[in-house]
Amino acid sequence: MNNNHSSNNGLNKISGYPFITIYIIHKLITTLKNNTLLYRFIFTIPVFTISLLSVNIKAYADTLYVGTSTVDITPELPVALDGQMHLRIAREVGTPLEANIAVLESRHKNKLIETTVFVSCDLVVIPSEMLYQVKYEVHKLLPGFNTDKIVMNAIHTHTAPVVRANVYPIPEKDVTQIEDYYSFFAKKIGRAIKQAWDSRKPGNVTWGLSQAKVGYNRRAVYADNSAKMYGKTNIPEFRGIEGYEDQNVNSLFFWDKQGELIAVGIAVACPAQEVEERYEINADYWHPVRLSLRKRFNSRLCVLGWIGAAGDQSPHLMYGKAGEERMRNLRHLSRLDEIARRIVFAVEDTYEVVKTDRHNDIQLIHETKDMSLPMRLITKTEYKASQKEIKKLEAQINADPKAKDRLFRKLNSFEGDVIRRYEQQKIQLAPMYNAKIHVIRIGDIVICTNPFELFTDYSIAIQARSKAVQTFVVQLAGPGTYLPTEKAVKGGHYSAIAQSNLVGPEGGQLLVDQTVELINKLWNVSYNQKVN
């Protein structure tokens, strides 16, 4: 290995321009963070429609370098937990939270061609400001590093610290504050990215596919065509499950030159929220998955947990519980361990099939795009309904101040947001939502991200139209919000109503079309010319 390349920090040929832009945005957001309406307005301006940086060399290289690190991101207790409608304070740690990091670099004749950094976090979502703070830390540690190539996703565990501002009435004392966690997180992740970057060495990669029954479409449909998340299925009115499921488990394996498996990326179309109601820190099913894989392969194995498009999915059983529970009891497994068993079986099954098909000389192309997607508009009826609901909620809180813990999110974030958006629409008739996506080609496969809780149908369409041999769709590489399909909007209920969606089906289809376009562009001839 030529150590000269370690010392150049693997810089892509970037100027200070991108980072200055990021820094300005970071400052702007910090200033505006308590002004939700203005904050959202700023983000509707499609100023990011052109990628901040593009790598001009679009060819594949001779050598793939891989570096990994894993870092504990468990917060200081007590801490408020993100993900339910009510406030929860965790006072114990069920399992540690981790961030798993893998950096990829492709080189040709010792010249850097492309970089990618994957950061998978045991969090509910990745707020933009959090990512900017991480980028800032990375910039400090690795000046000039192309931070636009950092892909950070959340596994959507509902038992991790609150990272969304103004959603819960978090006590101001004796509980870890959001700002403090951001700072803690950014520093830890920044150092871990540097560690991974510094440790990168020539490696090999391959990919494969298996299946596991993990996610269940959680929207039940009834005879009157209405739908309900987690609706009852054992009633005569039940007519079916609203949408599709994606039981594919896409795996990406990385080895070092000594043949040791050092990282695995696993995409499962199911959020990690089996124990979502607990009052403890917990990485949900990814914890036993990691334990099991590390026991089998390598105690320091980096496990990138990716959640496929799964806005309408969860690991909760929708029917047939008696049979499932009986089997789980016969196996003497907790539900988390049962889910992990299925995923690990799929990954190991894939590993056994593909382990000899290792590649070092592959295309690594990382493109980003800032999309402007039309926001879902609030109707006057929805606005009035929210006004009415808010009055009711305020009355409840006034009558019983303790109810604030339970109702604040619904009041401020859920219904309150409808009011703010409706008012905003008066000034801005066609508001847009800025969504950054990453599309990364690694050999014959592609990884494409989106910031949403994207309903599975969209991912199916992306996969069906993609030119890649395998298409890993990674959701929640950003701040979230459900992105429902048209049929879900027709069915209604939580996750497909105005309160739950910043972007609706129109934006969803645009996301599909533009993602597919970007993916397929990477299979154009110009990208396939080998560097001489």
Partner 1 sequence: MKNLKILIAILIFPSLFVVTNSCKDKKVKKNTTTVVANNSGNLSVGWAQVDITPDKPVLISGQFHARVSEGVMDPVTATVLALESGNGESSEKIFLISCDLVSISDGTRDNAKDNLRSTIREKISRKIPEVSPEKIIINATHTHTAPYCHTASSAKELYGVDLDVMSPAECIQFVSDKISEAAEQAWKNRTLGGISYGLGHAVVGHNRLQVDFSEKSVMYGNTNRKDFSHIEGYEDHSVNLLYTWDNQNNLTGVLINVACPSQVTEGLYQISADFWHDTRVEIRKRLGENIFILPQCSAAGDQSPHIMIGEKAEARMQKMMFPDLKDVGDRTLGLRKDIAVRIADAVTSVLPYMENSINRNPTLKHKLEVVELSRRLIGPEDVIQGNKEAEKWEEEYIQLLKEIQKTPALKEQPKWYTQITIAHTKMRRGKSVKDRYELEKVQSKMPIEVHMLRIGDIVMATNPFEYYLDYGVRIKARSPATQTFLVQLTGSGSYVPTTRSIEGGAYGAVPASTLIGPEGGQELVEKTLEMINDIMEQ
Interacting residues toward partner 1 by CB under 8 A: 208-213, 217, 233-236, 238-241, 243-245, 247-248, 250, 318-320, 322-324, 326-327, 330-331, 342, 345, 349-350, 353-354, 357, 457, 460-461, 463-465, 468-471, 485, 487, 513
CB nearer to partner 1: give 255 or 414. 255
478: its two tokens = 């950003």
CB nearer to partner 1: give 201 or 331. 331
3-state secondary structure string, 341-372? HHHHHHHHHHHHHHCCCCECCCCEEEEEEEEE
CA 266 to CA 336: how far, in whole Å?
Answer: 17
Query: Nearest approach, Cβ of 68 to partner 1 (angstroms)?
Result: 25
Query: Nearest approach, Cβ of 123 to partner 1 (angstroms)?
Result: 29
Distance of CA 403 to the CA centre of its chain: 31
Query: Nearest approach, Cβ of 268 to partner 1 (angstroms)?
Result: 13
Cα separation values, 122 from 43, 100, 273, Å: 25, 9, 11
- Residue 277, SS3 per DSSP: coil
Cα separation values, 447 from 4, 124, 279, 351, Å: 30, 20, 34, 19
CA 103 to CA 199: how far, in whole Å?
Answer: 9
Query: Nearest approach, Cβ of 510 to partner 1 (angstroms)?
Result: 12
Query: Nearest approach, Cβ of 517 to partner 1 (angstroms)?
Result: 10
CB nearer to partner 1: give 279 or 345. 345
CB nearer to partner 1: give 143 or 240. 240
505: its two tokens = 């089906």
CB nearer to partner 1: give 43 or 255. 255
CB nearer to partner 1: give 185 or 452. 452
CB nearer to partner 1: give 75 or 311. 311
The DSSP bridge pattern shows strands 160-161 and 201-211 to be unpaired
Query: Nearest approach, Cβ of 235 to partner 1 (angstroms)?
Result: 7
Query: Nearest approach, Cβ of 458 to partner 1 (angstroms)?
Result: 9
CA 53 to CA 18: how far, in whole Å?
Answer: 7
Backbone angles phi, psi at 430, to 5 degrees: -125, 70
In sign, the C-alpha dihedral spanning 501, 499, 307, 75 is positive
